Amino acid sequence: MRPNYLLLAVGMMLTVSLALVITQMSRFSFPCENTIVQRLASPGSRHTAFLFERGCGATTGFSGHVSIVGSGSTPNGAGNVLIAERKNGPSGSETYHGPSIIMRWQDETTLIVSLDPEARVFKQETVFGDIQVLYTD
């Protein structure tokens, strides 16, 4: 019996194509959307603290994030200082579904964050660059 080289070549091309598709799909991530709730410039306007809600699709909940960025910038990705979610489901608010988070600058290098003590915290940095972050209930 003679091998059918055309059939063998087509089979190999399909196998390689399928492997490439699977590799590319593994890199695919669902886009997340940040909705800014509050922006707060530092007293000297060198930095801005952002409170935002991050949603990453129907299978994930909404979480509250805090990021500190340079003046004129906006957060990109998840919070670089704080990531938390409500312990007991949605807040009932139509505009923000995360835990209660209140931010205020004490001075140019100190941000004070009041966080709901019942919140589930996934990230809570106390220093970001030259900025100290203090947390209160």
pTM of structure: 0.72
> CA angle at residue 55 from 83 to 64, to 5 degrees?
30
pLDDT digits (tens, 9 = 90+) for 103-133: 999 999 999 999 999 899 999 999 999 999 9
Which range, 32-46, 60-74, 79-93, has the best average confidence (pLDDT)?
Answer: 32-46
- Distance spanning both ends of the chain, measured CA to CA: 80
What confidence score (pLDDT) does residue 66 get?
98
What confidence score (pLDDT) does residue 97 get?
75
Q: Tell me which long-range contacts 51-55 makes (C-beta under 8 A, separation of at least 24).
A: 51/101, 51/103, 52/79, 53/96, 53/97, 53/98, 54/78, 54/79, 54/83
CA pair distance 75, 62, nearest whole angstrom: 16
